[in-house]
Amino acid sequence: MEDVKPQLLKVTIDGIEVEVEPGTTILQAARKIGPDVAPPAMCYYQPLKGSGGKCRACLVRVAAGSAKDPRPMPKLVASCLTAVQDGMVVENTTNPQVIDARNGIVEFLLLNHPLDCPVCDQAGECDLQNFAFDHGKVTTRYEEDRRTFEKHDIGPFIQLHMTRCILCYRCVYTADQITEKRVHGVLGRGDASEIGTYIEKAIDNDFSGNVIDVCPVGALTDKTYRFKNRVWFSKPVDAHRDCPTCSGKVTLWYRGEEVIRVTARKNEWNEVTEFICNTCRFETKKTSDWTIEGPTKISRSSVISANKYRADTIKPSFGQRLAAAEYKPIDDERDTSQLTIQQLPPERFAKLPSAMEPEP
């Protein structure tokens, strides 16, 4: 029998057209184009079923629903949950309303999340830090007390610090989906909600360590690694071992000759595709346990790559380009012809300075 290929749907995101299979979400379609137009995601995590729609970081504007019904959608929609339709036109970084909403989301997320990056163990690998860098403001307008919690030990390997939690529910889904019993939960309502302490039971499971990897901020940390090092001083290496429980494919983080941490491998969207077991993660930290495959590919704009590439090879992130585009020269008498960054017309998002164009 002849294979019938499903008809591909055409979707335009920020002026770039892409063809995707039916059922693809806007976020997935944007990721297919590349990191420049991919909306940020704090709660969406592709391998976890049911995740997404909660943080509202990935809101986009649908300027035309489909070719058949080109009416725009009245509200911003969560791109991680909205399936594309043929002829859909999506505005992501080109829409000021979307940028404004995201600025708001950053502010909301940072109301109760302390900006203690210098002492937080997640620094450098923090999705919220990247998101705030791209869309945040320098100051906050929040004057009230932030909520604080005592640190919470979840077994011998994991520590939960709810103070930093942004309630993305990723660890809840992980604990729920990789264990057989329902051992997860969020207690309380509104801004009083917190990750249920019953999650302690997840420690019974061989895969509990994965909640550390999925946490987008520094709320869940690896007690065998906490405060041993800064991530940009370590060298990530892909390795594997013959593991009876999991795939055994991991990233080893070296400081000198010593393996200081083992994590699951993450893709370019910071998502673990193959979860690893606790034995691989916490108990096998000798080089002799592993077969080394080679250096891990790390995004050049990541802080982990700091000092490892020449400065001019680092591609500016969306946030840097946004800042450059929003730069307003001071109105004075000086000769401004030497300025490399010029004030841009309102359609600034569409036309970025040529020096800032993404590399081919």
Q: What is the DSSP string of 9-57?
A: EEEEETTEEEEE-TT-BHHHHHHHH-TTTPPP-SS--TTSTT--SSS-T
Q: Residues 6 or more apart from 126 whose CB is under 8 A from it?
A: 117, 120, 216, 217, 218
We find the least distance from the C-beta atom of residue 179 to another protein, in angstroms, to be 17
Residues present in the chain in total: 360
We find the least distance from the C-beta atom of residue 108 to another protein, in angstroms, to be 4
Measured from the CB atom, the residue of 194 and 222 that comes closer to another protein is: 194
We find the least distance from the C-beta atom of residue 301 to another protein, in angstroms, to be 25
Query: How many of the chain's residues bind another protein (CB under 8 A)?
Result: 34
Question: Where does this chain touch another protein (CB under 8 A) — which range of 140-148, 206-214, 228-236, 332-340?
Answer: 140-148
Q: Tell me phi and psi for residue 221, to 5 degrees.
A: -125, 160
Asked if 78 is part of the footprint of another protein (rule: CB under 8 A), the reply reads yes
Cβ–Cβ < 8 Å for 12, 89: yes
Question: Where does this chain touch another protein (CB under 8 A) — which range of 11-19, 46-54, 319-327, 335-343?
Answer: 46-54
> Exposed e or buried b for every residue in 173-188, given b needs 16+ CB within 10 A?
bbbbbbbeeebbeeee
Beta bridge mates, 291? 240
Q: What is the DSSP string of 110-176?
A: TTSS---GGG-TTTTS-HHHHHHHHH--SS----SPPP----EEETTTEEE-GGG-----HHHHHHH
Of 148, 193, 273, 342, the one binding another protein by CB under 8 A: 193
For residue 284, what is the DSSP state?
A: -
Question: Where does this chain touch another protein (CB under 8 A) — which range of 98-106, 201-209, 277-285, 343-351?
Answer: 98-106
Of 32, 87, 99, 107, the one binding another protein by CB under 8 A: 107
Of 167, 231, 239, 280, the one binding another protein by CB under 8 A: 167
Measured from the CB atom, the residue of 111 and 243 that comes closer to another protein is: 111
We find the least distance from the C-beta atom of residue 184 to another protein, in angstroms, to be 11
Site string for another protein, 313-332 (x = CB under 8 A): --------------------
Contacts with another protein, residue ranges (CB under 8 A): 42, 52-57, 59, 75-76, 78, 81, 100-101, 104-105, 107-109, 111-112, 141-142, 144, 166-167, 169, 186, 188-193
